[in-house]
Amino acid sequence: MAKSDKINFSTPSGFPEFLPSEKRLEVYLLDIIRKVFESYGFTPIETPAVERLEVLQAKGNQGDNIIYGIDPILPPNRQAEKDKSGETGSEARALKFDQTVPFAAYIARHLNELTFPFARYQMDVVFRGERAKDGRFRQFRQCDIDVVARGKLSLLYDAQMPAIITEIFEAINIGDFVIRINNRKILTGFFQSVGVAENQIKACIGIIDNLEKIGETKVKQELEKEGISSEQTEKIIEFIKIDGSVDDVLDKLKYLGLNLPSAEEFNLGVSELETVINGVRDLGVADKRFCIDLSIARGLNYYTGTVYETSLIGHEALGSICSGGRYEELVGMFLGEKMPGVGISIGLTRLISRLLKAGILNTLPPTPAQVMVVNMQEDLMPVYLKVSQQLRQAGINVVTNFDKKQLGKQFQSADKQGIRFCVIIGADEAAAEKSSLKDLQTGEQIEVALANLAEEIKQRLGIIKSV
């Protein structure tokens, strides 16, 4: 067989590929995330990877993203079809670069088939022509939830988000984290009150959102560059640095609202924030899991109320591991209808890559098999197959070793793959309907009747928690 040695078979730059031990970690995390999403009634959807270009570019939502157009390549023997294939000459299409614009299109496409408030999750991959640098991928998976309404959407949906974030990251067990909550109306309202012009407010919010990244001095400089007076800048900086317990901050905000001029928007934001915080508490989220952080704004302009970021304590440099917020004019864009919504997003591919690199998460064993039935002698194969099936029917993942090798080599191979148990059946054991069970984790080897084998293994798997 000739080697195709002129072919560069590496992945295209920026398109990541997991080894089995990494992919299994992703599957494990996706299962946890999905289970939490579904426990709150979020239902799965998936939109195609490919959309009409005009959809992706609607409302200027391409943003700064390089998106990938798609272009049919006919096989050599079908070149003649070029004009009649229905593929060429058709409208421009491209790969989706986020889940938001396609979700808006999904709602427009199925408006009358969905029940509102519509709570959906989506865990698809998206594509962006990022420069392939550290932690940036051109294809990555995002885990998003949003709930959207026609008309009004209760602020208690906003309160559910921190409960969901908490459950997910507690289940993943990545150490302490804190969800930083704010409300854009408080920021907007405060800026109005100190006299920042309407058309400067969004830019100012964008600047203070970078406080953590660029530091206070830089924020001041940038605000002044925007034309904000140094007096206003001082007030803004003092304001966004308000901290303390959640109740302290709420008290300070309420007190401030009493004295601010034209504080309507501000006070509305404070009242929304208080409702959300009360809901978060009623949902049983521990106080240490959330705080109010007035410097959180989320760069994206579409947020209009509650906003969230999540920091891993001791690893703040990783940035937010789950963010989101409330919006009004996003998912209704194709319908010309205001549809309030609130959502969060976990950039899973990037998160896994960063958590692995930081040693916060470990990969899983490269195989899901928990048991290897070893091959002692070929003529016992019918017994090995039968025992393997009995274990599988009991819910255990099993590989049968079809290749006859030295027993030690078979143990080695199992151990290398992270398979915990070896089942050993020679002629004597087969005759006596017994087996030797070797636990590679403890080194123990015990005799077990075949009738009890599944039970014994399940017990051992249960005692030492396996993932």
128 is in an annotated binding site: yes
Q: Which of 32, 50, 237, 407 binds its own copies (CB under 8 A)?
A: 50
Stretch that binds its own copies, among 243-251, 261-269, 363-371, 423-431 (CB under 8 A): 363-371
Q: Which of 400, 450, 457, 460 binds its own copies (CB under 8 A)?
A: 400
Whether the CB-CB separation of 201 and 304 falls below 8 Å is answered with no
146 is in an annotated binding site: yes
Site string for its own copies, 119-148 (x = CB under 8 A): xx----x-x-x-xx-----xx---------
Range 159-178, binding its own copies (CB under 8 A): 163
Range 2-21, binding its own copies (CB under 8 A): 2-5, 7-13, 15-20
Cis peptide before 75 (omega within 30 of 0): no
Stretch that binds its own copies, among 189-197, 297-305, 315-323, 386-394 (CB under 8 A): 386-394
Residues ≥6 apart with Cβ < 8 Å to 50: 70, 93, 94, 95, 96
Which two three-digit tokens encode residue 434? 């017994």
Number of residues that bind its own copies (CB under 8 A): 123
> What secondary structure letter does DSSP report for 33?
H
The phi and psi torsions of 317 (rounded to 5 degrees) equal -65, -20
157 is in an annotated binding site: no
Q: Is the dihedral of CA 407, 413, 415, 421 positive or negative?
A: negative
Which two three-digit tokens encode residue 205? 């919010």
Does position 115 interact with its own copies (CB under 8 A)? The reply is: yes
139 is in an annotated binding site: no
Largest CA distance in the chain: 91
Range 73-112, binding its own copies (CB under 8 A): 73-75, 77-78, 85-87, 90-91, 93-95, 105-106, 108-110
Range 245-264, binding its own copies (CB under 8 A): none
**Burial status of residue 313 (CB atoms within 10 A of its CB: 0-12, 13-18, 19 or more):** exposed
Continuous H helices in 292-380: 348-357
Range 274-293, binding its own copies (CB under 8 A): 279, 282-284
Closer to its own copies by Cβ: residue 40 or 411: 40
Range 407-426, binding its own copies (CB under 8 A): 413, 416-417
Alpha carbons within 13 A on the beta-carbon side of 300 = 23
Quote the Cα angle for 47-50-56, to 5°: 90
Q: Which of 199, 213, 217, 336 binds its own copies (CB under 8 A)?
A: 336
298 is in an annotated binding site: yes
Closer to its own copies by Cβ: residue 161 or 228: 161
Q: Could you give the CA distance from residue 298 to residue 165 in angstroms, rounded to a whole number?
A: 17
Which two three-digit tokens encode residue 168? 């997910």
